[in-house]
Amino acid sequence: MTTRLDAAFAALSDPTRRGVLEQLGRGDASITELAERFRMTLTGMKKHVGVLEQAGLVTTRKIGRVRTCRLGPRRLEEETAWLERYRQLWDARFDELEQVVEELTRQERSDERRRRK
């Protein structure tokens, strides 16, 4: 599982690759179309697509001289579950912090009232 997470997060770490996934979410595209859309060389786009393909996020199919890309079978469930665990952890920590701040604010107000008397 760790290897799959590493590959997926490495693939998603690049804004161009995230953009390719967004584009493919709208429909299949050739590597040439993707290269034109992102204003890069075919070689550069092939490398990006290769990283996405290794992570299972994109599949390619060659028909004649055209290599067509589409979203892969992975739906990022493992990655979503991993992120959710940390989101819940952070939510709990922020809730605790909020309670501490509220308590300090109450104490500060109480101290101010006592000084005024």
pLDDT tens digit sequence for 50-107: 999 999 999 999 999 999 999 998 878 888 998 999 899 998 899 899 999 999 999 9
Band of pLDDT at residue 15, cut at 50, 70 and 90: very high
> What pTM, to 2 d.p., does this model score?
0.74
Residue 95 structure tokens: 């809730």
Q: 53-84 in b/e burial notation, b at 16+ Cβ within 10 A?
A: bebbbbbbeeeeeebebebbebebeebeebee
* Domain definitions of the chain by residue range: 2-71, 76-117
Tell which wins on pLDDT, 95 or 40. 40
pLDDT above 70 for 1: no
The domain at 2-71 falls in which architecture? Answer: Orthogonal Bundle (1.10)
CB within 8 Å of 41: residues ≥ 6 apart: 35
pLDDT of residue 46: 97
**Cβ atoms of residues 53 and 73 within 8 Å:** no
Q: Which residues pair with 63 in a beta bridge?
A: 66
